[in-house]
Structures are given as structure tokens and as C-alpha cells.
Structure 1
Amino acid sequence: MKLVLCLMAAGLQLCLQTHVVAAESLLSRSFIEKAVMEAKATVDSAYKYSRSTSVERVKRNAAKPSDVLRLLKQPVGATRAAVRAADYMDNTVKLIRASLFKRQKRSINATDLISEDDLRLIAMLTGCSAQRRFLSCRDTANTDKYRTLSGVCNNRNNTRWGSSNTPFTRWLPVEYQDRISLPKGWDPEKKVNKDILPLVREVSNRILNTTKMVNDPLYTHLVTIFGQWTDHDLTFTPHSPVIRSFSNGIDCDKSCERTEPCFPIDIPRDDLRFSQHSEECMPFFRSAAACGSGNTGHLFGASTVRQQMNSLTAFIDVGQVYGSDDARARRLRDLSNDKGLLRVNEEYTDNGRELLPFTPMGANMCATRGRISNDSNAQEVPCFLAGDERSNENIALTSLHTLMLREHNRLARALAELNPQWNGERTYQEARKIMGGYFQVLTFRDYLLHIVGPDFIARQLSTYPGYDESIDPSISNVFATAAYRFAHLMVQPFMFRLDEEYREHSDFPSVLLHTAFFTPWRVVFEGGLDPILRGLVGRKAKLNTQEHMMSDELRDRLFKFSSELALDLASLNLQRGRDHGLPGYNTWRKFCRLSQPKNLNQLAKVLKNKNLAKNLLKLYRKPDNIDVWIGGVAEPFVRGGRVGPLFACLISTQFQRIRQGDRLWWEKEGVFTKQQRDSLRHTSLARIICDNTGIAEVPKQPFQYQSRSNFTRCEDIPAFNLSAWREDIR
């Protein structure tokens, strides 16, 4: 009856778009249970096939770049359970819809023929409802003192705000091709604002292609890698775990057809990949949908459009060291004693210093030494294990992970000496809490100034305004998918390795970036951390200029380990933005109260570059259609920063919300004592490097490039003062 009234009052089209009308139940519980069982079997089979296919190729040392990316982006642990539940529910609804279509013999949206009670039952049986249920914090211990690993219970009234495995927030309405879930460009002939969107690979070829690198005159390569480090504390968007379509069984690696979850990147006909290798597309897998989004979102009070999931917390809590769920955190801890330490490698050390533990053998995407060195007898090692799945992505990132493992253990040992009455749990939590304070200070005091510039710092990120429980700190989709990918254009084509004199290392020279992806053996067998960290603080970042945007190491050799054609990071970024339904460039400029150029002259004025504006409009026709990522990275820098005004606005807004919406921010009264806050204010990244390596001298401000003559000896850099953490025994 409700459906009939909807059709009479609003018409078929509106009913199809809103998906909020439900008929009286046509379904029995047994019918629903049978559909759920069938959907689970289909999903489980696809997961098993996809995993076994990728693992087998990796074991045979025949992994494709797409295999590596997929394994890297695989949801694991609690995230995998959340993604699987969403797939169970989506496929159950599709099975029931198909059955009802057949039963009704008419083309109306069958989701509207499923009652809301039935949908709630499906959500319960598939586990989807559990992903969005309100959590009480009454039984969670010490939430006033220590963070939960998942970030839940930070906000007392909205306990999931900022927590892991929840959807990214949206600051603007989504723009999908069908207004519900299909990416822009899914149908390549479908016009947007009366024009066809260009192929993302064509944008990469014509706008980002460069053969010359320009060094940044002010900042070290550490700025670039620290950007990746902070991103891996805040955002991780899992892919769909499957590589073949649920609906027709098509393998996304073997077809250029667009069928969920396959959204392949088409190769232009004039591209060398097409002409020389007959490559028609690059495999691309859609980000996994979150429970409580899309056709069934109204059940959860959520959006009726597809949303993507952030598997990490939105807080600066060093989750990339500790993990974002209890199970992973336990795997990372050394529970063989009661000292509060993190696990370390049991097979190798770095000149006596600790290394990350290895992952269990299995799908070891890091066993590539033999391929790169062409030595079939080369000794291989597994991937390292850390709080974030991406710790092996490149050796510089691996080095930061290892450095912070050592710093946690250094703090834990020092705290145990100060407070021998503490047990291992107390020591672990206090060291973890200090580490969180470290990176809140380093990010806001030392890092963001170099990115967004002093004007945006003064406007949004200067003096701490206090905690505001009404602010949702959750990561926005545009931040994760576009704005915070700015540093991809600051990556040098080399991973620099330097000796004690900060000269090119004679035994372990600098290597091309694509030969440093997923190569933990370079850390184990090629000199350890010290040469890599010297390379980060002793060499300059790449400067993003409008003429020299992205290194071909990322644009044409991403995850290239063999003769297999590699991925293109620029194309991946652009396709991901379309996958997520991000609005276009001008829509975001309007959000930030910036001008919205409508023609060539206006765009040329914004970009301060008429030739670049012409090239963009040849591709996009209209400024409104420009993908937000390419528009953002094409803008000239704000004063004193390394992004343009659009990304400075979006990045500043996100970090403003992260800080104000964090009940356990280091400056908030009662989180640390006054004396502890005073110590944290003097946190020094240079000191952390000195305390945990054999490096004898560093720049006092490691983000700022200086000549070697201005470096500071480690003994002249004050140690971090832990005395405020001493507890009197009464």
C-alpha cells in the first residue's frame, strides 16, 4: 500500500531514487534466511578465489602490480568482517530483488518491495547492523586516561565518531553517475555537465608527465615521507576483497569490462602502453562499500548513497605503530614478559638495534630480492609487521616504522626504570600515550606550517581552542581521496642512502624508487636504517611545479618488479576520486569560499598559468568537470606552503576538526599534567633519531634543508625529559 501511495503522489522516478518506501512484507523469515545463506556462500567463494589467486601468484614470484596493490589494500581483521558484512547484505538484497522481479513480473525497484522489518532482519543476519550500532562506553575501562585502539568512546555522546571501520564523512553531497553508487565515468559515454569526462590516463599523460625533476629549495625529503606517515595514521580505504564480479564471475584482472567491483582504467590509443604492449586497460578495484550506505542506508539513519570506509581512527594516535583494533595490537606486543614492550625481529638486528618483526610466511609480496638483483640464490625475507599494512611500501616508510618501534621500547624501558612498581600494561599504555602526544606536537608545530603556510595556520591551526564535543573529527572523503594525496608530487625518483659524511653511500648507494617498493631485505641486508634516514634529512624533497608534477617512477613504474607493466599513481588517484563520487574542482572551491573559474581566462588567472589552463580545458572542456585532485595539485602554492589555496583549505579544515573533536588531545586539561605538557612541548624529531640510531649529527629541524655545516651533534640536542612521569610510591 505504501508503494502505491508513493507512486500516486510522487511518481515512479522519485520512488526509485529515494528508496525510503517499503511495502508490507512479502517475505517469510525462512525465505530471507535462505537468501542470506546463498549470498554468504557466493561472497565467501569469491573471497576465497580472489585470495588464493593472488597468494598463488605471489608464491610463484609471478605477482602482478595489481596483485601487490590488492594485497596491500586488503581489509584484514575487524575491517574484513565489516566489509564482508556489507557484501553479504548487498548480495542478499540483490538476490531477493531478482526473485521479486521475477515474481512481480514488472520493472519496479524491488528494494522498495522489501519491508523495513525485512531489511532490518537481513542486516542482523548478515552482521551489517552490528557495524553501525551505538556502543555504550560504561564497561570500557580507563577511557578518561587512555585511548581505545579503535577510537570508540572518544566522544561520549557519539561513541563512533572518529573510530575505525566507519564511513568517511562527506562535507558536500556525493556526485555519482546514478546518484546512488555508480562512479562518474562508469558509462564512458555518459556526459557530465554536457561533456564527456576525459580518460584518467590521458589526464596523467598530458598534465602530469615530466622527465625533469626540480629540487625543493627549502625542505628535506623527510617532509614527503612524513606526509605519508601521517596519512597512514589517519586514513586507509580498503578495496573490495574480490577480483571477480559477484554477478557474472568476470575476473577483473583479465577483463576491461566494468562490472562491480571492476572499474578498469582505459588506456588511450596513442599511449605507448597501448601501441607497444597492446594493453587496453589497467586493473582497478572499487573501494569497499560501508555497511549502512547505499540502497539500505536509511535503516541506519545513514545516507542512501554508497559510502566508503575508513579502517583507521581519525585521531593522531600513532595507530600505524600500535594498530587500530585489539587483535592486531596484541600481535604487535611482546607478551613473553611484563615489560610493556613491542615485539621485535628474532632473526636479525640492525647493528644490534631492533628491527620490526616479520609477518608469518604465506602471501609474501615482499619476496622480490631475487627478481631485482637477478640472483636466484639471493636470501629472501618476509614482509615486516607493523600497526599499518602499508609499512613495507617503501624503505623510507619502513625506516620510520622501525624508528618508532624503537622509540616506544626506549620509552617503555625508561618508564619502567622510573616506576618499577608499574606492570607491563601500565608501562605500555603510558609509552603509547606519550607517542601520541609526540606526533600531535610534531604535526601541528613542525609539519603543517610547511604544507598549508602561515596564513592558514593563523586562521585555523594556531592556539588550541579547547575540546568541542559537537565536532565530528571523522576523516572526510575529499581529504583522504584527494587533498592529502598532494605529497605524491613531492616524491623523488630515488631513495637516497648516505654515509656518515652525508655523501652517497659507497656500499649501499641510492636506488630508484621502483626498486625500493616492498623490499624489507634492503633494510636487513643493506646497511639498516642509518643510511636511509640520513638520505631523508640530508637530501631535498622534489618540488611540485606546474611543469614538473609527478615522477615517472610513480606514474609509469608503480609496483614494478618484473616485465609486467606497472601501475600509474596519478591515474589511480583520479579514478579513485570518481569511484568515491567526489564533486568537481569548482564545487570544492565554492566550499572553501574561493572563486570558481568559468572560462579559460578565469582559470588561467587562478592557476597563474594560461598554458596549463588551456591543456586542462582541452581535456575537461569546463572547469566544473576538472577532477578535484588534479585541480588541487595544479594550483600555485599559498605563501610559505606546498599546496595551493584549495588544498590548504581542505587540509586545514580536517586537522582543525581532528584537534577540536579529540577529547584526549594532549593540550586538553587533565589528559597530561602541566609538567608532562611542558615536556611534550619540547619534543624533538631530531632527538628521536639520535636516541634510536647510530647517527651522530642531524639538522636540528629535520624538515628544513640545511647544508651539512649547519647540522647539530646529537649530544647538543636536549634529551626528552621523562621526570614528570615519575610516580611517588606512598
Structure 2
Amino acid sequence: MFTSKEFILLLFFLCTLKCVVSQNLTCADLNKLYEDGKNLVNVQRLYDGLLQLNHITQENKEIGYNYFNYEFSQSMSHNVSEEYLKAKIYTQTASLFYDQLNNVESDVYELFQNYTHCFFEPKSTPEHLNYFVNKKYRSINGNGNNIKYPKRGESFTSFGRLLKHQYDDNIYSIRKSVRGNSLPASRSIVRKIFLNQKTNLNKFTKRNDTPNMLFLLFGQIIKHDTSSKQINQNVAPNEGVRCCSHMNKFQLPPSLMHSSCLPITISRNDSFYSSKNIRCLDFVRSNLISNNPYKVEVGEQMNRVTSFLDLSVIYGSDYERMCKIRSYNGGRLKMNPSNVLPLVNGTYYSGENRASQTKFFIVLQSLFVRNHNHIVDKLALLNSHWSEERLFQEARKINIAIYQNIIYNEYLPLLLGVESSKRLENVVYNPETDPSTLNEFSSAAFRFLHSFLPSEFELRDRNLKVRKVSISDALNENESISSYENILRGLMYQNISKTGYSDEILNKLFKNNRDIGLDLLSIDIMRSRDHGIAPYFKYRKYCDIKPFNLKSFNDLSPHISKKYISQLRETYKTVYDIDLIVGAALEELESNNSSESNSLVGPTLQCIMLEQFYRWKAGDYYFYTHDLSEFSFTKEQLKTLNQIKMSNFLCDNSDLDFVQESAFINNKNDVKCTELSYMDLSAWKEDLSIVNDN
């Protein structure tokens, strides 16, 4: 261990970096603050490194180790690491800047950006110069999709936002109550409102079109395809950041805690953890990124993957990963002998590092890899003159189009209601629309889907005999895939949960050998605070949900029931403190039983989700329905793509004998795969006489 003297010296140095002077700051003052900020970050990095050297790190088999290991296991390039470090320095400098202003009531974030000229010479070069845009195929990393704003939606850039971030210091420290107190602990919120209650949050029990687990996990594919945060780290492989003591008995003192820690506190009267003597759960803050090299910006959370609906979950979000996935044999992707994702060092390997969280994800991702290879085989027969590269790119383009078609024409009508999803039908490309995945969507709104998870996954054999496996056991499994079709049948014939968050989600996520795991909802609440998501009432106003100006908890009616209003009043000090993910999760759904109007989510979540899916379509130059260049799909090709349903997709890429006619709905309306049409790509046959003439 390092000595108390070393701690005292480090802490003394940290304190000397903070001083208060006048509010009339010059460029010299700002540059001094920048140097102080850089020194402070370097000291923090040194300090965090000392923790690692002294083995104050989280190790395998501890509570939640696998969860956090997935979050930081994907490496960053040197350039991205530099931008991450710069973002930390700017953010720390802004914090010092805030201290210099004596915590004045002003927009510190905007004031800080006004000092850009102190750090950089003015740049006249347009942002879009020196970027090559391939009009035929989208890039792997998302760069150049928009020639005017080439980095929008690119991997390793920041999430977008609907509303400005909300921090206590307007920079990075966690939001507090409007009364100045700390917000209620996330686990306390879960315990008082969600735990040990059959909350029936989803309130769609009378619907005839109950979604199945295939619908739910397909949503997880969308989530992984468009967002992946990276938590802060300064540790060796197989070691995680530690915020709690060994066995999670208490929160580590500040002198032993990593600078990125934000531990979840557990009360003594917690019905689950207290009996296990658990008083603390590890939680590590997300990495920041600086997007503009010529502008002083407080860091924003980094998205490791492309924002676009481009199957980066299959193809990767950087060229290095893509090269490991491709076989470079006829345009195909690598598969193992069982025709599922390839194994690399005993782990299933795909476009992003969360593929092997559970075999249910592995099977769904394998569907798209199989589909890519089927497309390649068909295209090679139609166009024997095509190169290996063209076969790969055309198959990728078609595979992405099928995926986008399923999302907008089958998935969203079920999630948001048919009438609401129709608003997205005629959306055209708008180069001013930012397609970046919204922080509110990734860190709050789409996480509500966790409430649909049941306690167990079901697997079904050819006779539909059921074998069950708990969610927590499924996440801990690391076995080979030997029941591909059984998994698919299980997903099709198992309904999503109608009773809210299960015990498996609230107590046992990524459990250890003592059957103790994380609380996913507590993590979701903390992550939304870490990412500076504004409180619930502000999104009600943004989404035009009346009354706009809430004055008391009672004003939440009729969108939230009296029962939940009472629980919210007991949990939060004011109605203005309610976290977005909490308030939105408790909203009532429409009483109409028709699937034409019904959404599976309340009005605030529906609003945020609609905005996100609008942006992903309007802001994506390569979206499959856009007719913007000679390389866009032809009318005949679009007709073929729009005829491919999820049911066809399942039959084409598995050995299933029958499927649900509407693949995302468990209505027992089976159809034989032999009765469904197979993918016909004749519209892609190239006329060689025209090619030769050109």
C-alpha cells in the first residue's frame, strides 16, 4: 500500500490547484486555469494508477464484475484516447473556471466556450474539407455520411441531446434537488417504488397483440447497434474500477476511491441486500469525448459505436474490428462450424464487445451474419463478375436495408402504435438533421424496455416442450450454442413481462457465486444522472404534455396514477427532482385496446423515441428508402426489400419448421416456413451489356 504521507501530499496538491480570484478573467488567467486543470487530471490519473498498483481493483467473481467488464473491454485508438484526455482536461478546467466565478448564477457552460480564442487560432477551413464521401457505400465508422457535418453519427464521438445537460455545477457534478439537497439514492427509489411490487407498469394486459421476447431482444440489438458508452478506467485487463470494499460491505473512503467512482449506497433496511451485509454497489462514470479540435468544449459522454441503424453490431464500428470479422473469401463473414458467430479466445466475436453477454444475443446476431452470407451467395450466382469487395459491400448494404425495413415497418408500429409510427413513413433526408444517438434515448428512454424482461428465458424444442433458464443464469452462461432453433422458438412463444421489473433485474444481474448481483434499474437511474439527463418535468414540457408548468405532485395526474404520485411524493422532495426514467416509467398508457393507437410506452417515452427514430431516418444519407443518388436502391429493389418480413427472415436463416406469421407477436398464428417466400434478389442482377458499354 502507498503511505499516508503520499496521500497527504497528493491531496495537498489537489487543493492548491483551486483558488478564487476575480470574475474579470483574461486569456492569461484562462491559460493558467487550463494548466491547472491539466495538472489536476494528471494527478488524478497518477492517483488512480497507484490504486491499481496496490491492487485496489475489482476482480473476477465479484458483484457485477462481468457487467462493467463489458463496458470497458473495447479499446480506443490513440487519437480517440487523446480526445478523451482533452475532454477530461477541458471539463476540469471548466470546473476551475466555475470556482473563479464564485459560483455565480450564470451559464458557465456558454461563458467557458466564449474563451475558445484563448486556446486556438481562428480556423477558416470548413469542417467538411479533406473528407472523402463514398456515395455508393456507407463507411464502417460512420464518417462522411453527411458531407457538411462529416463526424455526425461517427463512432467515438459524443451522444446528442434533446435538452441541455443538467449538472449541479452546470459542468459535471451530479444534479441535486432544486432545494440544494442530494437526490434520493437510486436504490432507495427502486426499493420504495419498484421492488417487491407487482407494479403492472406496462398496463397492456387487454391487448390481443402481446409482444414476445423476440420483440424485446430485437430492441436490444437496436440499442447495441446505436449506442455503447465506455466507462472510465485506468486498470489492467481483467481488473475493474473498485468503489466498494471487498464483499461490498461499505463504500471506500475518498483516499482509496478511483476518481470516476459514483457508488450506489444501500440502506440498512434494504429487503434484499441488507441480509447479505451489502451496503454498497460499484458504479463507474462514463468516458467523455471532445468532438471539435478547434473549440473549447466541456466533455460529453462518448458513444463508441456509430449512431446509425447500420448493423455496426454485426460489421463493427472501426476498420480494425471489421477486418477481424470478414473472411475475405467471396465477401462472406466468418462463422464457426456450427454456423454461428466465430469464437475468438473462447468468446463469441461480433461487431461489438457485448455479443457474448448471453447466448440469446449470440443467436440473434448470428441471424444477421447468416443473412449476409446468404445474400453473398445469391449475388455471386447472379453476378459472377463481381469482386470480393463488391460482394461484401452490396451484401452489407442489402442486409442493413432489411434490418431498417423490419424496424420501421414491423417493430415500431408495435412499440409506438401504428398511428404514431405512421409519422415516420414519409420522412425524407435532411442534411441539417443530426443523427447522433440521443443521450436521453440511450441513457433513459430505451432502457425502459428492461421492465419487460421476465424472470426466466424459455427454450422450446420441436414439440414446444419448454426448458427455462433464469435471466441471471443466462447472463452468466459461457457455453457453446447447441440449441439455436430452441432459442428462437422460445423467444417467439414467450410473452414479454406485464408485471414490471423482476427480482432478477433488481437484485441478481450478473450475479456472483453467492447469488448476489446488481440492480439494473438503480444503475439506469445513476447512469442518467451521470450523463446529465434533465429531470422528468422538463421532458413533459418538451413533449407538449399538459400541464406544462407543474406546481405540485398532484399535477402529474392523469398521466401518473394516484398510487404512484403518493410514492413519488414520499421519495422525492419536489416534483422537479423526479428522474426522467422514473417518472416516464410510471406513466399511464392509452386505454384504447386497439393496436392502431396503442403504444407500449407512455407519452413522454413515446415522444423521445419518435424523435430518435425520426433523426435516424432523416439524418442518414444512406437510409434505404432515400433516393439521393444513382447508387440508391431501384424501385424494383425497394419492392423486394419491403416484402421481407421478420418471419421470412427467421425462416431464411434457421432450420425452423414454422414461425409466427407476425414474428414479434405471440398470437399462436403459426405459418409453415415452406409457405413463406424466400429472398429473391433477381432485381440486383447486373446487365453486362450496359456495364460494358459504360
For the criterion TM > 0.5, the same-fold answer is: yes
If the TM-score is normalised by the length of the shorter chain, which range does it land in?
A: 0.7 to 0.9
Residue identity in the other structure for 2:675:
D
Could you tell me which residue of structure 1 aligns to residue 672 of structure 2? 713
C-alpha separation between the residues in 1 aligned to 2:307 and 2:89?
Answer: 30
Residue identity in the other structure for 2:636:
Q
User: Kindly tell me: are residues 622 and 723 of structure 1, through their superposed partners in 2, closer, same or farther at Cα, counting changes over 3 Å?
Assistant: same
Determine if the alignment matches structure 1 residue 618 to structure 2 residue 570.
yes
**Any idea what the Cα deviations from partners look like across 1:195-231, whole Å, max 9, x if unmatched?**
5421110111121114659796511111111111111
**Any idea what the Cα deviations from partners look like across 1:70-93, whole Å, max 9, x if unmatched?**
211116244685245423663599
Deviation at 1:67, TM superposition (A): 2.2
User: Kindly tell me: are residues 181 and 36 of structure 1, through their superposed partners in 2, closer, same or farther at Cα, counting changes over 3 Å?
Assistant: closer
Determine if the alignment matches structure 1 residue 265 to structure 2 residue 264.
yes
User: Kindly tell me: are residues 726 and 432 of structure 1, through their superposed partners in 2, closer, same or farther at Cα, counting changes over 3 Å?
Assistant: same
CA contact (8 A) 1:47 1:241 kept: no
Residue identity in the other structure for 1:285:
V
Partner SS, residue 347 of structure 2: coil
**Any idea what the Cα deviations from partners look like across 1:661-710, whole Å, max 9, x if unmatched?**
11111111142111111111111211221122221000121111122xx3
User: Kindly tell me: are residues 510 and 107 of structure 1, through their superposed partners in 2, closer, same or farther at Cα, counting changes over 3 Å?
Assistant: closer
Determine if the alignment matches structure 1 residue 531 to structure 2 residue 467.
no
Determine if the alignment matches structure 1 residue 356 to structure 2 residue 341.
yes
Could you tell me which residue of structure 1 aligns to residue 386 of structure 2? 422
**Any idea what the Cα deviations from partners look like across 1:609-638, whole Å, max 9, x if unmatched?**
211110111101322211000111111224
C-alpha separation between the residues in 1 aligned to 2:403 and 2:333?
Answer: 18
Partner SS, residue 689 of structure 1: helix
C-alpha separation between the residues in 2 aligned to 1:649 and 1:176?
Answer: 23
**Any idea what the Cα deviations from partners look like across 1:420-464, whole Å, max 9, x if unmatched?**
111111111111101110111111100111111133223x32x32
Residue identity in the other structure for 2:552:
N
TM-score relative to the length of structure 1: 0.79
Pick aligned residue for 2:610 from 652, 655, 662: 652
Could you tell me which residue of structure 1 aligns to residue 649 of structure 2? 688
Pick aligned residue for 2:502 from 545, 551, 567: 551
Could you tell me which residue of structure 1 aligns to residue 84 of structure 2? 86
Could you tell me which residue of structure 2 aligns to residue 233 of structure 1? 225
Could you tell me which residue of structure 1 aligns to residue 8 of structure 2? none
Pick aligned residue for 1:176 from 152, 167, 170: 167
C-alpha separation between the residues in 1 aligned to 2:31 and 2:89?
Answer: 18
Determine if the alignment matches structure 1 residue 197 to structure 2 residue 183.
yes
Deviation at 1:133, TM superposition (A): 10
Determine if the alignment matches structure 1 residue 333 to structure 2 residue 326.
yes
User: Kindly tell me: are residues 406 and 36 of structure 1, through their superposed partners in 2, closer, same or farther at Cα, counting changes over 3 Å?
Assistant: same
Could you tell me which residue of structure 1 aligns to residue 66 of structure 2? 68
Deviation at 1:279, TM superposition (A): 2.1
Partner SS, residue 308 of structure 1: strand
Deviation at 1:514, TM superposition (A): 0.4
Deviation at 1:315, TM superposition (A): 1.2
Pick aligned residue for 2:527 from 553, 572, 576: 576
Task: In structure 1, list runs of 5 or more residues that go unmatched.
Answer: 1-11, 122-128, 186-190, 361-381
User: Kindly tell me: are residues 136 and 413 of structure 1, through their superposed partners in 2, closer, same or farther at Cα, counting changes over 3 Å?
Assistant: farther
User: Kindly tell me: are residues 600 and 181 of structure 1, through their superposed partners in 2, closer, same or farther at Cα, counting changes over 3 Å?
Assistant: closer
C-alpha separation between the residues in 2 aligned to 1:81 and 1:494?
Answer: 43
CA contact (8 A) 2:154 2:306 kept: yes
C-alpha separation between the residues in 2 aligned to 1:489 and 1:427?
Answer: 41
C-alpha separation between the residues in 1 aligned to 2:120 and 2:462?
Answer: 64
C-alpha separation between the residues in 2 aligned to 1:340 and 1:52?
Answer: 48
Could you tell me which residue of structure 2 aligns to residue 166 of structure 1? 157
Deviation at 1:599, TM superposition (A): 2.5
Determine if the alignment matches structure 1 residue 643 to structure 2 residue 643.
no
C-alpha separation between the residues in 2 aligned to 1:56 and 1:199?
Answer: 22
CA contact (8 A) 2:413 2:419 kept: no
Residue identity in the other structure for 1:203:
I
% same residue: 25
Residue identity in the other structure for 1:153:
G
**Any idea what the Cα deviations from partners look like across 1:314-337, whole Å, max 9, x if unmatched?**
2111110000111111111113x3
Partner SS, residue 289 of structure 2: coil
Could you tell me which residue of structure 2 aligns to residue 630 of structure 1? 582
C-alpha separation between the residues in 1 aligned to 2:126 and 2:464?
Answer: 54
CA contact (8 A) 1:585 1:626 kept: yes
Residue identity in the other structure for 1:717:
L
C-alpha separation between the residues in 2 aligned to 1:340 and 1:47?
Answer: 44
C-alpha separation between the residues in 2 aligned to 1:697 and 1:552?
Answer: 33
Determine if the alignment matches structure 1 residue 602 to structure 2 residue 602.
no
Deviation at 1:272, TM superposition (A): 3.6
C-alpha separation between the residues in 1 aligned to 2:496 and 2:30?
Answer: 61
Determine if the alignment matches structure 1 residue 560 to structure 2 residue 514.
no
**Any idea what the Cα deviations from partners look like across 1:572-610, whole Å, max 9, x if unmatched?**
010111111111111110001112443343223221x21
Partner SS, residue 480 of structure 1: helix
Determine if the alignment matches structure 1 residue 408 to structure 2 residue 372.
yes
C-alpha separation between the residues in 2 aligned to 1:182 and 1:490?
Answer: 32
Partner SS, residue 496 of structure 2: strand
CA contact (8 A) 1:79 1:311 kept: no
C-alpha separation between the residues in 2 aligned to 1:179 and 1:97?
Answer: 9
CA contact (8 A) 1:83 1:291 kept: no
C-alpha separation between the residues in 1 aligned to 2:47 and 2:80?
Answer: 17
CA contact (8 A) 2:58 2:65 kept: no
C-alpha separation between the residues in 2 aligned to 1:492 and 1:501?
Answer: 23
C-alpha separation between the residues in 2 aligned to 1:213 and 1:534?
Answer: 28
Of stretches 75-84 and 635-644 in structure 1, the one that deviates more from structure 2 is 75-84
User: Kindly tell me: are residues 564 and 40 of structure 1, through their superposed partners in 2, closer, same or farther at Cα, counting changes over 3 Å?
Assistant: farther
Pick aligned residue for 2:214 from 219, 222, 226: 222
Could you tell me which residue of structure 2 aligns to residue 363 of structure 1? none
Residue identity in the other structure for 2:634:
T
Q: Cα RMSD (Å) of the superposition?
A: 3.7
CA contact (8 A) 2:508 2:515 kept: no
CA contact (8 A) 1:392 1:518 kept: no
Deviation at 1:650, TM superposition (A): 0.5
Deviation at 1:478, TM superposition (A): 0.7
User: Kindly tell me: are residues 201 and 107 of structure 1, through their superposed partners in 2, closer, same or farther at Cα, counting changes over 3 Å?
Assistant: closer
C-alpha separation between the residues in 2 aligned to 1:550 and 1:14?
Answer: 51
Could you tell me which residue of structure 2 aligns to residue 725 of structure 1? 684
Deviation at 1:301, TM superposition (A): 3.7
CA contact (8 A) 2:260 2:284 kept: yes
C-alpha separation between the residues in 2 aligned to 1:393 and 1:575?
Answer: 21
User: Kindly tell me: are residues 36 and 421 of structure 1, through their superposed partners in 2, closer, same or farther at Cα, counting changes over 3 Å?
Assistant: farther
User: Kindly tell me: are residues 14 and 118 of structure 1, through their superposed partners in 2, closer, same or farther at Cα, counting changes over 3 Å?
Assistant: closer
Task: In structure 2, list runs of 5 or more residues that go unmatched.
Answer: 1-19, 246-250, 591-596, 690-694
Partner SS, residue 204 of structure 1: helix
Could you tell me which residue of structure 1 aligns to residue 397 of structure 2? 433
Determine if the alignment matches structure 1 residue 541 to structure 2 residue 496.
yes
Instruction: State the aligned residue count.
Output: 631
C-alpha separation between the residues in 1 aligned to 2:126 and 2:506?
Answer: 41
CA contact (8 A) 2:120 2:295 kept: no
CA contact (8 A) 2:459 2:487 kept: yes
